[in-house]
Amino acid sequence: MRRRVKVLSAGVAAAVIATAAAADDYGKDAALEARFDSAISPAEMDGWLESLAAEPNHVGSAHDKANAEWVLQKFKDWGWDAKIETFKVLYPTPIKVGLELISDNPYTATLTESPVAGDDPTNTKDALPAYLAYQGDGDVTAPIVYANYGMPDDYEALKRMDVSVKGKIVIVRYGGGWRGLKPKLAEEHGAVGCIIFSDPHDDGYAVDDVYPAGPARPPQGFQRGSVEDMTLYPGDPLTPGVGATERAHRLSRAKSKVILHIPALPISYGDAQHFLAAMGGQVAPPSFRGSLGITYHIGDDDAAKAHLIVTSDWSLKTLYDVVATMRGAKYPDQWVLRGNHRDGWVMGATDPLAGQIAMLGEAKAIGELAKSGWRPKRTLVYLSWDGEEPGLLGSTEWAETHADELKKKAVVYVNSDTNARGYLFVEGSHSLQHFVNEVAEDVTDPETKATVGARLRGKLLADSLDQSASDKDKALGKIAADPSEDIPIGAMGSGSDYSVFLQHLGLASLNLGYGGERDWGGVYHSLYDDYKHHSTFVDPGEVYSGVLAKTAGRLVLRAADADLPPVRYSDVADTVAGYLDEVEKLADHKRAVAEAQARAFDLNAFSLASDPTKPGAAPTKLKFVPHFNFAPLENAVERLKQSAKAYDEALAKKGDSLSDAEKAKLFDIAREAEQALAPKEGLPGRPWYKNLITAPGTLTGYGAKTLPGVREAIEQERFSEADKYAALTADAINAYSDAIDEGTSLLIGKSK
Amino acid sequence: MRRRVKVLSAGVAAAVIATAAAADDYGKDAALEARFDSAISPAEMDGWLESLAAEPNHVGSAHDKANAEWVLQKFKDWGWDAKIETFKVLYPTPIKVGLELISDNPYTATLTESPVAGDDPTNTKDALPAYLAYQGDGDVTAPIVYANYGMPDDYEALKRMDVSVKGKIVIVRYGGGWRGLKPKLAEEHGAVGCIIFSDPHDDGYAVDDVYPAGPARPPQGFQRGSVEDMTLYPGDPLTPGVGATERAHRLSRAKSKVILHIPALPISYGDAQHFLAAMGGQVAPPSFRGSLGITYHIGDDDAAKAHLIVTSDWSLKTLYDVVATMRGAKYPDQWVLRGNHRDGWVMGATDPLAGQIAMLGEAKAIGELAKSGWRPKRTLVYLSWDGEEPGLLGSTEWAETHADELKKKAVVYVNSDTNARGYLFVEGSHSLQHFVNEVAEDVTDPETKATVGARLRGKLLADSLDQSASDKDKALGKIAADPSEDIPIGAMGSGSDYSVFLQHLGLASLNLGYGGERDWGGVYHSLYDDYKHHSTFVDPGEVYSGVLAKTAGRLVLRAADADLPPVRYSDVADTVAGYLDEVEKLADHKRAVAEAQARAFDLNAFSLASDPTKPGAAPTKLKFVPHFNFAPLENAVERLKQSAKAYDEALAKKGDSLSDAEKAKLFDIAREAEQALAPKEGLPGRPWYKNLITAPGTLTGYGAKTLPGVREAIEQERFSEADKYAALTADAINAYSDAIDEGTSLLIGKSK
């Protein structure tokens, strides 16, 4: 028997008590994994990275297609059954972009990133200019208003300063929430254009030395990206819910709800400084202040106007997903899926190729195992996605195309994306938490020679003692200090290719990677995220791409070969109980805040507090917060705890005595249970998102909201929806318990 | 009967429940106060301010002496018995100051502040250059280390980066703690020099437009100041505890423990940018980053050295305190004292003359009342202090000289200092909390036409609803929303002339002022704190100097004429109970943190968490925290609650029936009670500070520490002292209760 020490991964604060251990070793075969590890070669990955990242490889670029063909050939060389699947998607490309400052000091924004001496690939002529996919095109001239991060709180702050953005061009900085929300919220508030700049405070010189002296953003660097409204649905804007095959039914561009209507551009802080320095109006409040060497003003006056032009080619483009399969010897219709995207915004060395080469390393090592006679019990499907950057296009369209088959066959989808030197990060389905903790205990961290699990535990514990530690950090530190507890894995929001699997199809999913030692975010989506930057500052020698391969590879191998499902339902029960507790506290907190605010209005506090020399207004009045019927959820969570406990205990006692068919049946039950959490109705206003346990927040974009139907109804004052979604979510949890109970019956029946 | 609505002031978080109202109106005479108000003229104050602030008026300057004589004449003109008292103090003045950067880009710091066009007084040749009084003189050349705010946490952060300041010149920024601690801690850590700069993040362009466009610090502005070690004692460094009269016994300069030994200078951010940009070494951690447009580095390498020279004239100088008296008609030996300093670092318009002119306005108005036949029952003593800026010299030396008389006669000392447009701020002896709340309800705020009390209540309530509100803000907001509760007044630390009265002599004291609407801190102690800046940005028309006069004047008039002491002992009991609760929680928290850290060391967490590419070290090991004997304090606080309640209730029932002599006796009792809180032994290592309820923190400088003997023993891991000071503090509180009980007996005896 193997030592069963708990290990770790990172993300969310809910403390999860370890329950009875599963009956098997979750498919672990130490000898096989040792052979697998020995076939992982960071030195070889280094060569792959340099080649894949040699030229811009965004959707539609020549190098993107060439990379797909190169990857295809590699899979074939390694013994996989591989092919390229193509999709036709709406993917706009810039025809014209322009931005001028109209002021006493006029200025024309560069909108291009200059090359760096000594880093040859940055001399490319093929890089996209400053551009945001799925912005709205236009040619507008208007006064500028600075709206900080462009998030809802910032518009509330502007309102309290008596500033409207109606008819104005909004300039906002990156950070504080997902990029795509910035022009969307600007549009909703009446703005006619949106400029997003990278403030040096957030990823430039304030954070670290700038490239090439260090990893941080140089003055001329900007962040491209997608502003497709992925809070409604990701993937091709014209084919929601179905695969964007040649013959798919398509919406017109005008009918698609995920494309914005105002022009928007990203700019560098070198460019932004000219605009911000020219602006007059009120002095920006403290939360709006960045690290440019100026006084930030709100603008909204005649001192500075902007002229913004964006014109795009809105033709359909072709995606190239590489799909490689290794058929399972025992359960060919149970699939273990593993994916990482291949397209970047420019060269994409850290994002996504550091993850892509890890996945390729796994595929090569598995190929070698297969050549020596081993075969996985379950079918492996490796996926090199195209078009992730514009909106998870490659994964979404592929999974929508194969939805029925996936719902019947997928055991788990394992995703990765960017990767860097540092600490393990995992988020995903909570049923897999203990499985992940087990794997993390078997991978060695090259910097400390401890396991990656032990290293993360150390990191969480050390961080929890820092003066700046949040309550969440402190809670994680307590868990980390107790070896009898698993480290929780985070809930999934969005931002990478797992979204369609978890949130649309309801399939168990994981997303993992390494990072956190030196911040590389300053080159994110810029020309400077290239091989030289990556191998100098992010992961010299691609050592941590190798560690990622060993970690994700173990997840794949064990999921493929496990006799029993690598799940522990008690972890789900405990975690969901924690989420319910959060939501109940949220309601109480919102109620108390609304009552305190009402009291403040009664006492005329906002008038009394205001400075009469400044324009000002009271805050938006909060709605009275009713009491909600959480009883169905409370009952469902209680039942889930009982059901999970019964299953986990029965499995520990009886799992090994099941027949192969019965063991396979438990996998089917696990799959059905996960799908029960994503019923047909979906989330309010965005039915593509079906998972009622976790979703990307409509006002966070990437960040997860758990129990989203209920939580967002309360957060966003759509109070009448809260009871409805509490009941729907309770139904989903009860269906999950039903599935578990079926498994328990099977186990107990066996014991009779 | 007058309406008895509760009102407000600001400072500390402990919620204080209102108890039985006092028996009289605390000396309020509405008709008298209306006449007093009508004699307050901001327009006249404006003229005084322009004249007093016309030239530099630091200690030893011609204009300081001229101002003293002008103030003396005014008091005389207004009918006061006035004189100048002089003291001879050690007050160093610069002979030579110099600072050079030795690097690839050498630079010589300007160390002077250039004039501003359109603001004639800034053309003066008499301003002090960049200088810190009581630094150590020297001529040193060494590599530079950037130590953030130069506070203990920053040295811990440097230690964790494996950086020592031994033999180096430390460069630190203003903020995070009192100025004087910065070179002191640098010296303690082995540095040979200290440079303090004003980062634009803290009071420059990041905060507001810079002067003359706005109130914030321009690039060439710097903050002069004292670095006398006032945590040991303030006042003349050579005469601790006694008045610096001509014949006083003086220490040698070498024997004085409050003068530093290393040279130190303040510089502007225009100068500092050259030094910081030249420095190499590690990238500064997030908490070290300011708003200069550069990557901040720690230095500690050969890229940048500094050559720092300071030579001073250490001769004795003369202070001119103006002392004006109006003899009490009924109780001439009970004194109500009112003071504000007169010396600035340069022109000192906001600091201190905006407060000085308020005090002069009161004196003139009181003079007019006196001319019309009114006389105060108690003696008024108005004090225009010299030499506050170098170290509270004028007040400390005067009060030390007259200590015996003050201990017998002083009813209360009312202080003010800087003043600006905005909200009332009060700190002081907790027995006076309700008195202050009463007065705040009778002064009208000119901007809102509400009372200054109601306005502050509105401000506290509005701030408590802000997203950035701290727990303390939220607690204050709850109190502010409940009209049945008084707003607590803050505990006094140091930083103005009340220190000797409250902390050395144990006399009831208050400190008050207005401010908070537009931050003027960017001209603090600079050339630009002048009449034009003040009347443009800080308090146009000196309107709030007028409000301060009406507020402080009421405190003075009521304290002078009240039949019964304007105190409510229950407020003291409740507040001290809150302090004890904080200290007990502090001990528990420190114990938990030490235990968590020990666990982290056991698990090797700091090694596991560290980045092997960076120099690094584990944190300093925290000492095991024993359990302390808080029982004497707990018992003393319980008894105080009972004693206070009995007195307050007896006073409400019987106060009015006392004879004049008995009423006067209650004043004596109040005075003796306050002095009981400041027993002879004083605080550990700094016996000048005798008050055991509040003191400036040894590691905060200005900021108050309550129950300081106990609290600092725990905070600073001098655990063996905690029990000793818990017992001593309990003794002091019991002596306070003894005095109260004497008052209760007198009241109850009367009722028999």
The verdict on a CB contact (< 8 Å) between A214 and B283 is yes
Which residues from chain B sit within 8 angstroms of residue A293, using beta carbons?
A: 200, 205, 291-293
| Residue B466 resides in a domain | no
First to last CA, chain B: 27
Which residues from chain A sit within 8 angstroms of residue B210, using beta carbons?
A: 295
The verdict on a CB contact (< 8 Å) between A604 and B292 is no
Average confidence (pLDDT) over A195-217: 98
Give me the DSSP letters along A379-395.
Answer: EEEEEEES-HHHHSHHH
H or E, element range at B183? helix B181-188
Distance from CA of B456 to the nearest CA of A (A): 7
Average confidence (pLDDT) over A556-570: 97
A170-193 pLDDT per residue, tens: 999 999 999 999 999 999 999 999
User: What is the overall mean pLDDT for chain A?
Assistant: 95
| Residue A576 resides in a domain | yes
| Residue B12 resides in a domain | no
Mutate which of B153, B463, B465 to test chain A, going by most A C-beta atoms within 10 A? B465
Q: Residue A221's closest CA among A346, A125, A136?
A: A346
Nearest CA in chain B to A153: B467
Minimal Cβ distance to B283: which of A208, A599, A600: A208
Residue A613 contacts B, CB cutoff 8 Å? yes
* Confidence category of residue A750, pLDDT binned at 50, 70, 90: low
Rounded to an integer, what is the distance from CA B589 to the centroid of its chain? 28
| pLDDT value for A483 | 87
What distance in Å separates the CA atoms of residue B646 and residue B662, rounded to the nearest whole number?
17
> Which residues, numbered 79 to 118 in chain B, qualify as contacts with chain A under a Cβ-Cβ cut-off of 8 Å?
none
The verdict on a CB contact (< 8 Å) between A153 and B467 is yes
The verdict on a CB contact (< 8 Å) between A294 and B608 is no
Give me the DSSP letters along A231-258.
Answer: TT--S-TT-TTS---TT-----GGG-TT
| Residue B482 resides in a domain | no
What distance in Å separates the CA atoms of residue A354 and residue A53, rounded to the nearest whole number?
10
How many domains in chain A? 3
Strands (E), A574-733: 694-696, 704-706
Residues A384 and A237 in one domain: no
The DSSP call for residue B95 is E
Count of alpha carbons within 13 angstroms of residue A693, beta-carbon side: 34
| Residue A4 resides in a domain | no
Q: Residue B464's closest CA among A148, A614, A606, A626?
A: A606
What CATH number is given to the structural domain containing A485? 3.40.630.10
Confidence check: pLDDT of A19 > 70 = no
Residues A281 and A341 in one domain: no
Q: Spell out the long-range contacts of B625-631 with Cβ–Cβ below 8 A and sequence spacing 24 or more.
A: B625/B587, B625/B590, B625/B591, B625/B594, B625/B714, B625/B719, B626/B719, B627/B587, B628/B587, B628/B710, B628/B714, B628/B719, B628/B722, B628/B723, B628/B726, B629/B723, B629/B726, B629/B727, B630/B580, B630/B583, B630/B584, B630/B587, B630/B726
The verdict on a CB contact (< 8 Å) between B600 and A462 is yes
Q: What domain range includes position B43?
A: 30-90+317-422+497-565
First to last CA, chain A: 27
Q: Note whether B29 and B561 are within 8 A (CB).
A: yes
| pLDDT value for B24 | 55
What CATH number is given to the structural domain containing A706? 1.20.930.40
Nearest CA in chain A to B206: A295
Average confidence (pLDDT) over A208-229: 98
Residues B410 and B511 in one domain: yes
Listed as ranges, residues in chain B with pLDDT below 50 are 1-23, 752
Residues A442 and A560 in one domain: yes
Residues B296 and B415 in one domain: no
Among B258, B288, B313, the domain boundary falls at B313
- Tell me what ipTM this predicted complex has: 0.93
Residue B622 contacts A, CB cutoff 8 Å? no
Average confidence (pLDDT) over A232-257: 97
Residue A253 contacts B, CB cutoff 8 Å? no
Residues B71 and B153 in one domain: no
Give me the DSSP letters along A523-591.
Answer: GTTSTT-SHHHIIIII-GGGHHHHHHHHHHHHHHHHHHH-SS-S--HHHHHHHHHHHHHHHHHHHHHHH
Which residues from chain B sit within 8 angstroms of residue A590, using beta carbons?
A: none
Over A78-120, what HEC string results? CCCEEEEEEEEEECCEEEEEEEEEEECCCEECCCCCCCECCEH
| pLDDT value for B616 | 83
Residues B538 and B644 in one domain: no
Minimal Cβ distance to A459: which of B467, B596, B608: B608
Residue A205 contacts B, CB cutoff 8 Å? yes
Residues B576 and B561 in one domain: no
Mutual orientation of helices B720-751 and B708-715 as an angle, nearest 10°?
Answer: 160
| Residue A67 resides in a domain | yes
| Residue B491 resides in a domain | no
Among B530, B550, B565, the domain boundary falls at B565
Proportion of chain A above pLDDT 70, given as a percent: 96
The number of residues making up chain A comes to 752
Confidence check: pLDDT of A6 > 50 = no
Residue A484 contacts B, CB cutoff 8 Å? no
Distance from CA of A208 to the nearest CA of B (A): 6
| Residue A162 resides in a domain | yes
In terms of Cβ atoms closer than 10 Å to its own Cβ (0-12, 13-18, 19+), residue B76 is middle
Q: What are the helix (H) ranges across B677-719?
A: 708-715
A399-424 pLDDT per residue, tens: 999 999 999 999 999 999 999 999 99
A337-391 pLDDT per residue, tens: 999 999 999 999 999 999 999 999 999 999 999 999 999 999 999 999 999 999 9
Confidence check: pLDDT of A16 > 90 = no
Nearest CA in chain A to B468: A287
Residue B613 contacts A, CB cutoff 8 Å? yes
Nearest-10 Cα torsion for A488, A492, A496, A498: 100
Beta-bridge partner residues of B88 = B318
Q: Note whether B654 and B748 are within 8 A (CB).
A: yes
Minimal Cβ distance to A608: which of B294, B296, B450: B450
Average confidence (pLDDT) over A618-630: 97
Residue A481 contacts B, CB cutoff 8 Å? yes
The verdict on a CB contact (< 8 Å) between A465 and B292 is no
B657-670 pLDDT per residue, tens: 999 999 999 999 99
What distance in Å separates the CA atoms of residue B462 and residue A608, rounded to the nearest whole number?
9
| pLDDT value for B750 | 62
What distance in Å separates the CA atoms of residue A627 and residue A633, rounded to the nearest whole number?
14
What CATH number is given to the structural domain containing B258? 3.50.30.30
Minimal Cβ distance to A600: which of B465, B607, B612: B465
Confidence check: pLDDT of A25 > 90 = no
Residues A701 and A659 in one domain: yes
Q: Note whether B310 and B192 are within 8 A (CB).
A: no
SS3 at position A146: strand
Residues A309 and A365 in one domain: no
H or E, element range at B316? strand B316-326
Minimal Cβ distance to B605: which of A458, A603, A604: A458
Confidence check: pLDDT of A49 > 90 = yes
Which residues from chain A sit within 8 angstroms of residue B604, using beta carbons?
A: 450, 458
Q: Note whether B299 and B229 are within 8 A (CB).
A: no
Confidence check: pLDDT of A396 > 80 = yes
Nearest-10 Cα torsion for A405, A406, A409, A410: 170
> Which residues, numbered 275 to 294 in chain B, qualify as contacts with chain A under a Cβ-Cβ cut-off of 8 Å?
283, 287, 289, 291-294
* Confidence category of residue A752, pLDDT binned at 50, 70, 90: very low
A730-747 pLDDT per residue, tens: 999 999 999 999 999 999
Q: Note whether A491 and A11 are within 8 A (CB).
A: yes
A274-309 pLDDT per residue, tens: 999 999 999 999 999 999 999 999 998 888 999 999
| pLDDT value for A9 | 36
**Residue A63 in tokens:** 């190098």
Distance from CA of B634 to the nearest CA of A (A): 30
Residues B62 and B198 in one domain: no
Residue A209 contacts B, CB cutoff 8 Å? yes
Confidence check: pLDDT of A4 > 70 = no
B455-484 pLDDT per residue, tens: 999 999 999 999 899 999 999 999 999 989
**Residue B429 in tokens:** 């002896």
Residue with tokens 């002529």: A125
The verdict on a CB contact (< 8 Å) between A467 and B209 is no
What distance in Å separates the CA atoms of residue A600 and residue B473, rounded to the nearest whole number?
14
pTM above 0.80, yes or no: yes
Residues A305 and A330 in one domain: no
Distance from CA of B315 to the nearest CA of A (A): 43
Among B286, B313, B340, the domain boundary falls at B313
| pLDDT value for A17 | 34
